[in-house]
A and B are shown apart, each in its own frame.
Chain A
């Protein structure tokens, strides 16, 4: 036991007295975080500042010169260009169709699948499968299924005597189609969040309520639903923000059409910026989207805080 550790011989040399333990820890922490932070500044903060500047300018495509035009682009969007309000309307319709449908279906599936029975894993796997599938692939297949007369869905409808619409060629039906197919694609995600929340509720609550003679519906509405409150809010935030970001799905299925019937904000930004090269206007739209998403998030966070 007399042999000392080798490290002790060198201890005096290596102590680095000019660096305190606290400073050393802080230095190491900054080193750990610096790649992420640097990338964040370059690819996120910088562009976020730039987009504010862009939105106040008019770009000349030929000379690549930017001229400061103040709030003109915002003016265009909010007061001059009727497309903008049409796009906002579409986005709101899309979100207010998608969010409730998605959440209601997710909750129903979660309630059905939150406790074990034979085949529960299979059902969970099935309902979640579209989530891992690429949105483009999903949209391609559905676009195929929803073709006019020759499409599979309409052929099936014809068998039972229904003359199905040309889903993706009529503005209102196209909107319904993108909402429904998007819900089927994404509902699995909310379903598993609800399942996790349901499984975290102690079974004793339900047992106690049953002993007191509560019906299934009463147990749900008085016990389970209130306890799911925080989860419901989180899901609502995620789903709402997600619905404003939907791009690939609509790009593939309808290309924003027909007659701009499914032209939503994310798509409109892409179209103005990268198809029409109206950088200033597209940047103003991006800022508006930023504000909309921010406000929605903050409102929902505030609701959450009030509830807890």
Chain B
């Protein structure tokens, strides 16, 4: 199977720089997720790997080949699109077999491969239907089936679940994870949903404004975010950040040069007013069933989010907040992790 390397890859549309120099290597069989806010260039980067967008400069290798100027269909990649992109005038069978037909694979071989993919994805009862007769989840599965049939070296997913409802999304997520386990192919997956990124990825690439902010396993990104942006982007609800000078009290383990401290809502614990590291007044308590989310206003006016399980605290109550010292994240003036 196949690894994939990007070296100083750039893309500009006219004068607008969309990808401003990306270096990345994807190991054979790895599940890599590109994540970032909208407009960060993650979809463009994926389309550059697929060949649907040309690469302005830099080098893209799939396996050992440089494929910058190779047409999409000869790169050995398959893509699953956000809108599924099923051909409306073809039924499921022909949709899945279309690429093989274009490549002049004989009909018998074509039927065998479509059948095999349909079996894997439990699509057999749907083979004669047209896309308009399918539910969103079924369409999604057909789109994946179409990708499988071509037996590509690398699968590319462009926000494939964003058009599904919440429940189906969770289900399809697990199916994609299972598919990766079974096929073992290299997969690159684009999403703006960090939960998807966390659950699926072997490796997450956080992008912002055409640059890579950080690359790492989900655990690394969550536990040791490389900068303020990643710290706030990964994790939900997002990390509370406090300028260090504004807060009274000593921060245990504060490194030299630290200008900001970050605390995840789920790491903060409630104590008596005045007893914790910081204190404040509860503005709002959002009850979500298993736990509540408190909005706590600090004396300086900042609002902290604090997660607490099984607590019932009214708005207006004064509380103290504490946290394990190893759960504090420090960042320097430039927003980089300080340690």
Contacts and interface: CB of A to CB of B under 8 A. Distances in A.
A154 B127 CA distance: 70
Residue with the greatest number of chain A CB neighbours at <10 A, chosen from B70, B73, B152, B183: B70
Interface string A21-40: 11011000000000000000
A114 B292 CA distance: 55
Contacts of B51: 21
A1 B150 CA distance: 10
Interface string B59-103: 000000100111101101000000000000000000000000001
Given A20-B54, A21-B51, A22-B54, A7 B73 contact: yes
Interface stretch (A8-16, A47-55, A179-187, A242-250): A8-16
Nearest to A10: B74
B75 to A, nearest CB: 8
A291 B261 CA distance: 71
Given A20-B54, A21-B54, A22-B54, A5 B69 contact: no
A116 interface: no
A131 B238 CA distance: 64
Nearest to A17: B69
Contacts, number: 41
B240 interface: no
Contacts of A24: 71
Given A15-B70, A21-B69, A21-B71, A5 B151 contact: yes
B105 interface: yes
A11 B103 CA distance: 12
Interface string B281-325: 000000000000000000000000000000000000000000000
Given A7-B74, A14-B74, A20 B69 contact: yes
A4 interface: yes
A127 B68 CA distance: 59
Contacts of B54: 20-22, 25
The interface centre, meaning the residue of B54, B69, B71 with most chain A CB atoms within 10 A of its CB, is B69
A6 B183 contact: no
A3 interface: yes
Nearest to A3: B151
B183 A1 contact: yes
A285 to B, nearest CB: 44
Nearest to A19: B69
A12 to B, nearest CB: 8
Nearest to A12: B65
A24 B71 CA distance: 10
A6 B103 contact: yes
B70 A7 contact: no
A51 B215 CA distance: 66
Nearest to A8: B76
Contacts of A19: 69
Nearest to B105: A6
Contacts of A21: 51, 54, 68-69, 71
A11 B69 contact: no
A15 B150 contact: no
Interface string B151-168: 110000000000000000
A21 B49 CA distance: 13
A5 B183 contact: no
Given A20-B54, A22-B54, A11 B151 contact: no
A31 to B, nearest CB: 16
A7 B103 contact: yes
A24 B65 CA distance: 20
A8 B151 CA distance: 11
A32 to B, nearest CB: 17
Nearest to B120: A1
A11 B105 contact: no
A1 B151 contact: yes
Interface in B166-201: 183
Contacts of B152: 5
Contacts of B150: 5
A4 B151 contact: yes
B201 to A, nearest CB: 23
29 contacts: A1-B151, A1-B183, A3-B151, A4-B151, A5-B105, A5-B150, A5-B151, A5-B152, A6-B103, A6-B105, A7-B74, A7-B103, A8-B74, A8-B76, A11-B74, A11-B76, A14-B74, A15-B69, A15-B70, A15-B74, A16-B69, A19-B69, A20-B54, A20-B69, A21-B51, A21-B54, A22-B54, A24-B71, A25-B54
Given A5-B105, A5-B152, 15 more contacts: A1-B183, A4-B151, A7-B74, A7-B103, A8-B76, A11-B65, A11-B74, A15-B70, A15-B74, A20-B54, A21-B51, A21-B68, A21-B69, A21-B71, A25-B54
